[in-house]
Structure 1
Amino acid sequence: MRHADPWGRHYTLRCKPDHLEAVPKREALRRRDWEGARARRTHCPNGHAYTPEHSYLDPRGFRQCRRCRAARVKSRRVPPAV
């Protein structure tokens, strides 16, 4: 169970039992502020800053780190046969 305040923020610690609402996982995920969560991220999981020149917006609308993306693409390339 998670505690949700009127502004949509969620807390799991130090909450009053009367403020708890039991909802299925699917409903909890639907209620989450995904856009806000993405906007608050300032660095990729590897620690590179999300700056306009170092980030890439993929066709689905997800922001990606250019350095990590380049490394991923490079690692997928098949080495030439000798």
Structure 2
Amino acid sequence: MDFRKRMQYSINVAPYACITGIVYMIVIFIIIEILDKTPQGRSILDFILKPFFSIVQIFAILSIIIAIMIANEKMSPKK
């Protein structure tokens, strides 16, 4: 796969990557809110899910940033 094809593929995938990142963050926020209401949920949150969710949120933010960068590349006029 040469560079041009790869760029075309990433431009096609960019909107989905952005949507996926936003959905990840919303789902993580909802799960944390639900688990935070119960005492058992709070202990589960502290030990297992907080580190995992922070990693997933970093990936979500990165996918949004990459999608925005690719969209800018797509919108900029060709030289």
TM-score range, shorter chain: under 0.3
Structure 1 or 2: more helix by fraction? 2
Q: TM-score scaled by structure 1?
A: 0.25
Normalised by the length of structure 2, the TM-score is 0.26
Q: Which has the higher contact order (CA 8 A, sep 6+)?
A: 2
Larger strand percent = 1
Between Structure 1 and Structure 2, whose CA radius of gyration is higher?
Answer: 1
